[in-house]
Amino acid sequence: MRAKIADWFFRLPAGLAGPLWRTLQPLRQAAHRVGERRADRRLPVRRAVIEGARAALVGHLSDPLRFHFSMPPFTSLTAGPPEADMPRGELPAALESLSREADLVYVSLSDARAPGTWRASAFRVPLAVQSVLDLPEDRETLMARIRNRETRKEFNKFDRAGFTVEISRDPTVGRLFYERFHVPFIRGRHGRDAMMLSLRPFLCLLREGELLLVKRDGEPVSGVVCRREGSVYRTEYSGVREGDPQLVREGALAAEYYFSILRAHELGCRRIYFGISQPFLDNGILLFKKKWGGQLEPSHEDRRHLYLLIPRYTESVARLLEAHPPIVHGPDGLAGLVAVNETRRRDPAGLHSRLRHQACPGLNALYLVNTGTRAEEGPTDLPLAWHAVMAVPDQPLTPAGLFGPQTA
């Protein structure tokens, strides 16, 4: 229904639809928040076993939360319908019961002022993280920043492929890009049920922004829709021709980042937003954006809140956190939560290499959780603080135990 309303809305003339949409945006957001709070009067409960860990999810799935849980293996929690629902007032008692049965409990609420003392024992998780690059004024500094050890392979691909860029605002080109580039690419990455902007709002955004179309030998291979907002340049809707993974391997996706950075600098923008990523340190999209200098910031923080309780630090939980280290809100900003098993702890070189790989700018700390001897002191060149934290098997892992009493 919402998609049909949006489709009708963007049939309006270009000069009317865009300003009216922006004017109504605060009202739409307020109505959305009211709707979520009404829906949260009764909270559904889902359960699943994920890599041996018993997990539970309490609460409704907003679009950002669907995105958050679209990363394997967390799709297990959203695969089926809820097994039950309960009044919100019963949440503290239900969480106490779930904590006796589950190893991990996620709670999704639209209101941060949720009642109950359980929040002192829960980590707050960003629904998504956003990669931001601050642009220097001179081109030489910019090129030195993006032509680095991490992006060397990408530039080698550029040299071989001979990519060029064309800027278009043509709605015919935009429709072709949407149908043959954006939709196949997103569905190939997130599945057939991926949430996507419908065509008419997409074309309306194109009228306000521009399409950076990457070409090779005169043929389009990828592209991204960008918008300028004052001193900020946003890359929002990406695509690769027919979603072809071979084009991604050949550098067609990397070319979007390169040309969008140059375009933002050409327009005199001070910062570029690369878009959102799922809040896990092993997320490939996040690590790819890191290569181009992206720094992390929380995203979607005004829409919903996600809490993670770990009532028992079992071997299964440790394996899950090691395979998919989450990003959480620490006492001084975003932090990484990394489990370290005994084998990895005894290999400091391998552990330190992994930490360097996952230490994204914008994180203020990495918390290394293990149940054995403290992890050896790490490299001095790691670009953020890191802390070795002891965990007691089958006991709760809480923010107070990880960060200290100031967050309890």
Mind listing the domains of the chain with CATH numbers?
2-39 (no CATH), 40-127+300-311 (no CATH), 129-298 (3.40.630.30), 312-397 (no CATH)
Q: Which of 246, 260, 327, 269 is nearest to 289 (CA)?
A: 260
pLDDT score of 354 more than 80: yes
To which residue do tokens 């008692």 refer? 93
pLDDT score of 328 more than 80: yes
Q: What is the structure's pLDDT at 396? A: 93
Share of the chain above pLDDT 90, in %: 38
Element (H, E) at 24: helix 14-39
Cα angle 295, 301, 306; round to 5 = 105
Q: Which of 273, 31, 320, 312 is nearest to 128 (CA)?
A: 273
Q: What is the structure's pLDDT at 14? A: 57
Q: What would the pLDDT profile of 171-217 be if each residue is shown by its tens digit? A: 899 999 999 999 999 888 777 766 677 887 788 788 889 999 999 99
Q: Which of 339, 394, 398, 329 is nearest to 362 (CA)?
A: 329
Asked if 264 contacts 229 with a C-beta cutoff of 8 angstroms, the reply is no
- Answer whether the bond into residue 72 is a cis peptide, omega within 30°: no
Res. 2 pLDDT band, cuts 50 70 90: low
Q: What is the structure's pLDDT at 182? A: 93
Model pTM score: 0.86
pLDDT score of 154 more than 80: yes
- Best-predicted range by mean pLDDT (17-31, 93-107, 384-398): 93-107
pLDDT score of 317 more than 70: yes
